[in-house]
Amino acid sequence: MQASEAAPAKINLFLHVTGRRADGYHLLDSLVVFAAHGDVLQARAAPGLSLEIDGPFGGALQAEADNLVLRAARGLAAEAGIVPNAALRLTKNLPVASGIGGGSADAAAALRLLARLWNVAPASPALALALGADVPVCLSGRPTRMQGIGETLLPAPGLPDFGLVLVNLGVAVATPAVFRARAGGFTPPAALPAAWPDAAALAAGLAACVNDLEAPAIGLAPVIGEVLATLRAVPGSLLARMSGSGATCFALFASGAEAAAAAKNIRRQGWWTWGGGVADSAAAT
Query: Mind telling me the catalytic residues?
Result: 10, 134
CA pair distance 150, 113, nearest whole angstrom: 22
CA pair distance 26, 22, nearest whole angstrom: 9
CA pair distance 191, 178, nearest whole angstrom: 25
Question: What separation, in Å, do the N-terminal and C-terminal C-alpha atoms of the chain show?
Answer: 14
CA pair distance 85, 274, nearest whole angstrom: 35
Length of the chain: 285
Tell me 59's DSSP state.
G
Number of other residues whose CB lies within 10 A of the CB of residue 27? 17
Closest to 51 measured CA to CA, from 32, 35, 67: 67
Q: Is 181 strand, coil or helix?
A: helix
